[in-house]
Amino acid sequence: VRLQEAHAAELEARVLARTQDLDKALGELTEANARLQELSQRDALTTLHNRQFLAERMPKVRGTAVRWKQSLGLLMIDIDHFKQVNDVHGHAAGDEALKAVAEVILRIMRRPGDHAIRYGGEEFLVVLPQTHAAGAAHIAERIREEVEALTVTYGGQVIPLTVSIGVACTTPGPRTSMALMLQLADRLLYQAKDRKS
């Protein structure tokens, strides 16, 4: 009987140790998966979120704005004459310009619920939940001014940078799609670019 009890206790101890090992491995795997998910939603060059993040997260952001009847601001930002930067200074200089603009955007965005996304080549998108038109316009102007004040140098040459920004703000309804809001911000961006021409 004692031998059987000792054997049962030893078996129980082994099962407990194995369970603890499995729990630890599962925790590490969950952590690694979360890190991988985060990396898959980041642009490698600028560290801003990417289009995958936009596709996965924005339905929830839009849904919250609809549910609580909150204003949602979008800034569509484009680096002016970016092709010329690449043609004159090279693609490595263009990469430095992209990183510098991304840093400005991140520095100005302070609220945890705001999102900065590298939308395309030289285009960025800033999503501003609970932000009215005046607040979104203020943030856009700060980004525009700080980018214009940047001193980006590459190969000993200064690269002057400016951005155009389309500011779209709305309180979305149930039928207001994210695609429609993005189209509006994009259209306003190109109006801003046309005014500079």
Q: Bridge-partner residues for 167, per DSSP?
A: 75
pLDDT at 39: 64
Report pTM.
0.83
State the DSSP code for 127.
E
Q: List the pLDDT tens digit at each of the 197 positions of the chain.
A: 788 888 888 999 999 999 999 899 888 888 877 776 776 889 999 999 999 999 999 999 999 999 999 999 999 999 999 999 999 999 999 999 999 999 999 999 989 999 999 999 999 999 999 999 999 999 999 999 999 999 999 999 999 999 999 999 999 999 988 899 999 999 999 999 998 87
pLDDT tens for each residue of 150-190: 999 999 999 999 999 999 999 999 998 889 999 999 999 99
The position carrying tokens 């002057």 is 160
Active-site annotation, residues: 122
Q: Is 177 left (phi over 0), alpha (psi -120 to 50) or beta?
A: beta
End-to-end CA distance of the chain: 94
Distance CA 41, CA 54 (A): 9
